[in-house]
């Protein structure tokens, strides 16, 4: 991030300025980043508008990304639990549900989320404007409506929160009817028996779990040598094992040479000479920032090769009255972080210099089957930095609650400093991992002696619970010290 000088901030008690604008602030995009910015600005009394090019609010998070994929995953996870539950499987045959059928549940969740998010703007008197936004100058935006008409609005401050979309290489035909990306796969209306997933990042791995859980044969093509290599190695190995054990075939270190459609399927050929054939292909390798239609050149801004904008620590671009938040600025590209970025940008716009910032340790949640979540450092990061650490582990199969729920796969790992006992990392694999990790995160955020692994043995947990894994892991780790 580049460092910019402090802007002239908006006086929330002043309704006029040397130049009269239609709005004090305009936000482009209604995803988590745009929502966080709009709510933060509106609650200080500013006149705010938000622009959305799609028919409903929520952005990619609500309509094509986080919400639908997690809703699909939940349905498939419940199906797997039903088919493997001895209470049901002994006297009934295995249930089969198709991808289009589980999409109905996701569509219902999307409707509820859209209605909820729309109510936020109404309640906070934020003007919702529909259409495609593009810059005329640093204070003026043109909105092109679906019917071709347009209007121009002015604002003192503008926040870009346009999100991202799946990367589509020019040599892949996405109009063939058999090749999808993570947005268009939600329009899949047939029941494939086989699928190739190209790209084994978070999105590819999550969809591999979803399709394999539906009984679809999955070839997962990983362009890297290790699955989800940013994770702690032990967790990466665990998800690789469980995906493989479920029947997913993982091909590491492969890149496509060509993707072609045939009469009865789609064929992917790798640069190493391998060929794969399936009913359809999901291309899930990278994303691009949605900046190409903003006419950035009109204000002197330029996106990088991935469509992303550079900002400083206050999310201010090179143009003093224009800010950017969310996927459009790159890392960490998380819905949770995007909302906070929008909120922090709004704080700076209205208050000037602030000391608020994103937490240093942002939790990661990956909704594969089983689920993954982590916060803090991995073992390999600590080793590379020459920071001594000890490991405490708890296996879910030893917890009464996991046995009761028949959710015995996975476990919890705590990394801590052997002398200070400071918690350095939490890594969880298994049912409700993304919930469980927040207990450790809360303690990690404490200062001084409050952030030690000993907290978990000096407190009392409900019994039986999955949270009890913290006590088990803490005792396991402390017993290793000498």
* 440 belongs to an annotated ligand binding site: no
Could you tell me the fold of the domain covering 370-478?
Enolase-like; domain 1 (3.30.390)
In the three-class reduction of DSSP (H, G, I as helix; E, B as strand; rest coil), residue 64 is classed as: coil
Global pTM value: 0.91
For the residues 426-440, what does the mean pLDDT come to?
A: 97
Contact 197, 188 (CB under 8 A): no
Give the dihedral of Cα atoms 256, 261, 266, 271; nearest 10 deg: -20
Q: Which residues contact 247 (CB under 8 A, 6 or more apart)?
A: 212, 217, 218
Residue 9 reports pLDDT greater than 80? no
User: Homologous superfamily of 179-285 in CATH?
Assistant: FAD/NAD(P)-binding domain (3.50.50.60)
The CA-atom distances, in angstroms, between 187 and each of 63, 106, 128, 212, 216 are 12, 12, 27, 18, 17
Tokens of 362: 């942002």
Tokens of 71: 């809703």
Max alpha carbon distance in the chain (Å)?
A: 78
Taking each helix axis as running N to C, give the angle between helix 66-84 and helix 99-123, from 0 to 180 degrees, rounded to the nearest 10.
140
* 56 belongs to an annotated ligand binding site: yes
The CA-atom distances, in angstroms, between 159 and each of 18, 89, 150, 189, 290 are 21, 53, 20, 37, 14
pLDDT in tens, 123-150: 999 999 999 999 999 999 999 999 999 9
* 59 belongs to an annotated ligand binding site: yes
Q: Which residues contact 406 (CB under 8 A, 6 or more apart)?
A: 81, 84, 85
Element housing 98 (H / E)? none
* Domain residue ranges in the chain: 1-166+286-359, 179-285, 370-478
Q: What is the pLDDT of residue 56?
A: 93
The CA-atom distances, in angstroms, between 16 and each of 12, 153, 158 are 10, 16, 17
For the residues 389-407, what does the mean pLDDT come to?
A: 96
Query: Bridge partners of 429?
Result: 372, 411
pLDDT in tens, 97-111: 888 888 888 899 999
CATH architecture assigned to 1-166+286-359: 3-Layer(bba) Sandwich (3.50)
pLDDT-above-70 percentage for the chain? 95
Residue 471 reports pLDDT greater than 60? yes
Distance of alpha carbon 214 from alpha carbon 282, whole angstroms: 16
Q: Name the nearest CA neighbour of 136 among 152, 156, 148.
A: 152
How does the average pLDDT of the chain come out, rounded? 92
Distance of alpha carbon 230 from alpha carbon 368, whole angstroms: 15
Task: Answer yes or no: same fold for 1-166+286-359 and 179-285.
Answer: yes
Residue 398 reports pLDDT greater than 80? yes
Question: Cα 370 to the chain's mean position, in Å?
Answer: 17
DSSP 378: -
pLDDT in tens, 257-288: 999 998 899 999 999 999 999 999 999 999 99
* 61 belongs to an annotated ligand binding site: yes
pLDDT in tens, 170-218: 999 999 889 999 999 998 988 999 999 999 999 999 999 999 999 999 9
* 280 belongs to an annotated ligand binding site: no
Distance of alpha carbon 57 from alpha carbon 50, whole angstroms: 10
* 52 belongs to an annotated ligand binding site: yes
Residue 165 reports pLDDT greater than 80? yes
In the three-class reduction of DSSP (H, G, I as helix; E, B as strand; rest coil), residue 437 is classed as: helix
CA–CA–CA angle 469, 73, 64 (5° rounding) = 125
* 200 belongs to an annotated ligand binding site: no
* 273 belongs to an annotated ligand binding site: no
Q: What is the pLDDT of residue 90?
A: 60
DSSP 89: H
How many residues in the chain? 482
Distance in angstroms between the alpha carbons of the first and the last residue of the chain: 43
């Amino acid at each position: 991030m580049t460092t910019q000088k402090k802007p002239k901030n908006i006086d929330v008690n002043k309704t006029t300025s040397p130049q009269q604008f239609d709005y004090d602030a305009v936000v482009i995009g209604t995803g988590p980043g745009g929502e966080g910015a709009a709510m933060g600005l509106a609650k200080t009394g500013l006149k705010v508008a938000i622009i959305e090019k799609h028919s409903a609010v929520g952005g990619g998070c609500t309509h094509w990304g986080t919400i639908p994929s997690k809703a699909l995953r939940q349905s498939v996870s419940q199906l797997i639990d039903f088919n493997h539950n001895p209470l049901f499987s002994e006297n009934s045959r295995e249930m089969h549900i198709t991808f289009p059928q589980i999409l109905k549940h996701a569509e219902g969740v999307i409707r509820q989320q859209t209605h909820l998010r729309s109510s936020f703007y109404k309640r906070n008197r934020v003007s919702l404007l529909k259409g495609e936004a593009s810059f005329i100058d640093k204070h003026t935006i043109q909105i092109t409506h679906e019917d071709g008409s347009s209007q121009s609005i002015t604002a003192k401050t503008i926040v870009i929160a346009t999100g991202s979309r799946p990367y589509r290489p020019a040599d892949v035909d996405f109009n063939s009817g058999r090749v999808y990306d993570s947005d268009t796969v939600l329009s899949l209306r047939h029941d494939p028996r086989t699928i190739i997933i190209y790209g084994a990042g978070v999105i590819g791995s999550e969809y591999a779990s979803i399709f394999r859980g539906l009984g679809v044969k999955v070839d997962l093509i990983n362009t890297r040598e290790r699955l989800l290599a940013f994770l702690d190695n032990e967790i990466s190995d665990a998800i690789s094992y469980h995906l493989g054990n479920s029947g997913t075939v993982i091909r590491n270190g492969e890149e496509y040479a060509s993707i072609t459609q045939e009469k009865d399927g789609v064929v992917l050929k790798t640069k190493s000479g391998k060929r794969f054939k399936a009913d359809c292909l999901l291309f899930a390798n990278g994303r691009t920032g949605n900046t190409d239609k903003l006419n950035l050149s009109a204000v002197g801004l330029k996106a990088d090769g991935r469509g992303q904008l550079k900002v400083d620590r206050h999310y201010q671009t090179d143009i003093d009255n224009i800010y950017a938040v969310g996927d459009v600025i790159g890392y960490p590209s998380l819905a949770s972080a995007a909302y906070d970025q929008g909120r922090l940008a709004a704080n700076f716009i209205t208050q000037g210099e602030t000391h608020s910032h994103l937490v240093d340790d942002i939790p990661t949640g990956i909704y594969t089957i089983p689920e993954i979540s982590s916060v803090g450092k991995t073992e390999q990061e600590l080793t590379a930095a020459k920071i001594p650490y000890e490991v405490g582990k708890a296996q879910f199969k030893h917890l009464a609650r996991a046995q009761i729920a028949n959710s015995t796969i996975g476990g919890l790992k705590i990394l801590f400093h052997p002398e200070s006992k400071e918690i350095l990392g939490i890594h969880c694999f298994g049912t409700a991992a993304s919930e469980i990790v927040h207990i450790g995160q809360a303690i990690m955020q404490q200062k001084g002696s409050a952030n030690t692994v000993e907290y978990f043995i000096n407190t009392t947990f409900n019994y039986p619970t999955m949270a009890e894994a913290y006590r088990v892991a803490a005792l396991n780790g402390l017993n290793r010290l000498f």
